[in-house]
Amino acid sequence: MKILVCISKTPDTTAKIAFSDNNTKFETAGVQFIINPYDEWYALVRAIELKEADPSTVLHLINVGNADSDPIIRKALALGGDEAIRVNTDNSDSFYIASQITTIAKDGGYDLIFTGKETIDYNGSSIGGMVAEIMDLPYISHAIKFDLDAAGAVVVREIEGGEETDKAALPLVVSCQKGMAEQRIPNMKGIMGARTKPLKVVEPAVAESYTSIASFDLPPAKAGVKLVSADNPEELVRLLHEEAKVF
Amino acid sequence: MILVFIDQQDGHIKKTSFEAASYAAKIAEVTGTTAEGILIGTVNDDIATLGNYGLTKVHTLADANLNNFDAQVYTKIIAAAAEGADVIVFSNNTTGKAIAPRLSVRLKAGLVSGAAALPDLSNGFTVKKTVFSGKAFANITVNTAKKIIALNPNSFSVITTSGSAEVVALNVTPDAAKVQVVSTDLVKGEVPLGEADIVVSGGRGLKGPENWGMITELAHLLGAATACSRPVADINWRPHHEHVGQTGLAIAPNLYIAVGISGAIQHLAGVNRSKTIVVINKDPEAPFFKAADYGIVGDAFEVMPKIIDAVKKLKAS
């Protein structure tokens, strides 16, 4: 079994969101960067569990990003995985990134490619589907449970208002979310070991960008809360009905 | 032509598809073309009534085997229907997110997922989308001839007209599915959280799962979905699919009522696109009040029964 997990670098979940250069760039000053939580807690940890269940499993990580990604790649290697590949680019277009991943993956003989269901910065939910289409592989998105059986994979995925259980043969691309695995913290042995694991840096392949970011906006500030006395909650219902007209 | 994917589940067209159809019809109106739909699988609904949302034609492939959802199979079918399309519109739900990226590759069409507004055509083709889990917007310029937009649920109001869509069978032989749907488990009788107009949500301030009766009762009265904060899902007071926030579901209902939730930044990220936010919390310093439109500083156990009674009276009047 050979697994590739795609990991992305995102701002910490508590990061202050601000923009610079006339609202065209995300302001990174003072921002802590982490492994995208969906990639780490669900995709990577589930892949590590599969490797623990079958130690012959080869687990590779891939990141498409510049050298600023190296600390989060080392952290991912500290959690688990045999080696990492970083494709050296600043480009953030989904198709461009998916093209870089497939350039590496197409000759890698991977049985499984895991991504997070989305990144918490661009919220694109695109990479898994694009990788699958470029490689002509089946794709199961929004997986909350993943198991292997003799025929391939049994995957439970979220759908609107419930869950769906799917079966598919390998190779397969899966996007992962909450439920797949529990968050782990790297231990000292893992951190020490990660220092000597291979982190290959490769230059990007020629690929198109389908989209570009023109600018960012922050949502308009709220006018401020209108407080209603706890002694008169009926007034809240009246306001919601007559003023906000929400029911 | 603007093509919209009409999503169905359990024999019925999803509510978010009416929003997507209205959105597609609006783009068609602005650009002087027509909006058409593509519906895959079998439904019990009258497909021609999609004309009421501005569609002139709906391409169908009414094959019951296609009720088995495989994004790869669907992508090829939609690509066939999209031959003459300039823009293809999806709902940014679990189905749309599975298909749209694949179609983007197949059609070499730039994708904007999580769209929050109509495209701006004044200088190219630019679409506002939510980023940073709802904390900001990005204006994305699409540089390809064909464009794909996945529209966030509850971000474009349904526009009804009167019309009847011509229903045409699509002449495509679908591939065999590689993904077999073994079973589906839908929470019956509940409003799907991502599509709900009103959401009533509870946090740790409710002290235990046994106290959720007031949340579900108010939700039932308002035809609302129920939700919860992350800690509540983590300690299994409520099912995981109810978790809203940065690492749970991001929602944008018309009304979000948060009871006993302090409003950590990660929670706000998932709900701050709600049009009206109501916060009930006994701590006046709870950060949620800063993001709220209406609030009550008070004990939920005293306030909620009174609110429930007032809503009952209102509904009875």
Q: What is the ipTM, given to two decimal places? A: 0.95
What is d(CA A61, CA A208) in angstroms, rounded to the nearest whole number? 23
In a domain, B182, yes or no: no
What is d(CA B229, CA B245) in angstroms, rounded to the nearest whole number? 7
In a domain, B183, yes or no: no
Do B155 and B200 sit in the same domain of this protein?
no
Which residues make Cβ contacts (< 8 Å) with residue B148, sequence separation at least 6?
Answer: B87, B88, B89, B90, B100, B103, B104, B107, B109, B110, B111, B112
Do B35 and B158 sit in the same domain of this protein?
yes
In a domain, B215, yes or no: yes
Interface of A with B in 17-36 (CB under 8 A): 17, 19
Q: What is the pLDDT of residues B67-79, one digit of tens each?
A: 999 999 999 999 9
- What amino acid occupies position B39? L
What torsion do the CA atoms of A36, A38, A44, A46 make, to the nearest 10 degrees?
Answer: 170
Q: What is the pLDDT of residue B192?
A: 84
Q: What is the pLDDT of residue A161?
A: 83
Q: What is the pLDDT of residues A18-63, one digit of tens each?
A: 999 999 999 999 999 999 999 999 999 999 999 999 999 999 999 9
Which backbone phi and psi does B36 adopt, to 5 degrees? -130, 155
CA distances from B92 to A89, B20, B95 (A): 28, 9, 8
Split into its structural domains, chain B has a count of 2
Q: What value, to the nearest 5°, has the Cα angle with vertex A28 and ends A23 and A32?
A: 145
CATH of residue B276: 3.40.50.1220
DSSP string, A210-240: -EEEEEEEPPPPP---EEE-TT-HHHHHHHH
Q: What is the pLDDT of residue B235?
A: 95
pTM score, two decimals? 0.92
Do B18 and B102 sit in the same domain of this protein?
yes
How many Å separate Cα B116 from the centre of its chain? 11
Please list every residue in chain A whose beta carbon sits closer than 8 Å to the beta carbon of residue B291.
222
Nearest CA-CA distance, residue A224 and chain B, Å: 6
Q: What is the mean pLDDT of chain B?
A: 95
**Looking at residue B196, what DSSP letter applies?**
-
Q: What is the pLDDT of residue A223?
A: 84
Mean pLDDT of A67-82: 97
Where helices occur in chain B by DSSP H, the ranges are 15-31, 71-81, 94-107, 213-222, 230-234, 265-271, 288-291, 300-316
Structural domain boundaries, residue B154:
2-169
Q: What is the pLDDT of residue B317?
A: 85
Helix or strand holding residue A105 (H, E):
helix A94-105
Interface test with A, best of B87, B104, B151 (most A CBs within 10 A): B104
- What amino acid occupies position A80? G
Which residues make Cβ contacts (< 8 Å) with residue A74, sequence separation at least 6?
Answer: A194, A195, A199
What is d(CA A59, CA A5) in angstroms, rounded to the nearest whole number? 8
Do B281 and B210 sit in the same domain of this protein?
yes
Do B52 and B152 sit in the same domain of this protein?
yes
Do B142 and B231 sit in the same domain of this protein?
no
In a domain, B178, yes or no: no
- pLDDT of A221 higher than 90: no
In a domain, B109, yes or no: yes
What is d(CA B219, CA B227) in angstroms, rounded to the nearest whole number? 10
- pLDDT of B188 higher than 80: no
Q: What is the pLDDT of residues A162-217, one digit of tens each?
A: 899 999 999 999 999 988 998 899 999 999 999 999 999 999 999 999 999 999 99
Which residues make Cβ contacts (< 8 Å) with residue B187, sequence separation at least 6?
Answer: A161, A162, B241
CATH of residue B6: 3.40.50.620
Q: What is the pLDDT of residue A228?
A: 96
List the domains of chain A with CATH numbers: 2-219 (3.40.50.620)
Do B24 and B108 sit in the same domain of this protein?
yes
Do B14 and B95 sit in the same domain of this protein?
yes
Q: What is the pLDDT of residues B48-100, one digit of tens each?
A: 999 999 999 999 999 999 999 999 999 999 999 999 999 999 999 999 999 99
Cβ-based contacts under 8 A for chains A and B: 286
Do B154 and B204 sit in the same domain of this protein?
no
Q: What is the mean pLDDT of chain A?
A: 96
Do B109 and B235 sit in the same domain of this protein?
no
Query: With an 8 Å Cβ cutoff, are B132 and A241 in contact?
Result: no
Do B206 and B163 sit in the same domain of this protein?
no
Cβ atoms B147, B1 nearer than 8 A: no
- pLDDT of B190 higher than 80: no
Query: With an 8 Å Cβ cutoff, are B110 and A95 in contact?
Result: yes
Helix (H/G/I), strand (E/B), else coil: B230: helix
- CB atoms under 10 Å from CB of A85, counted, come to 21
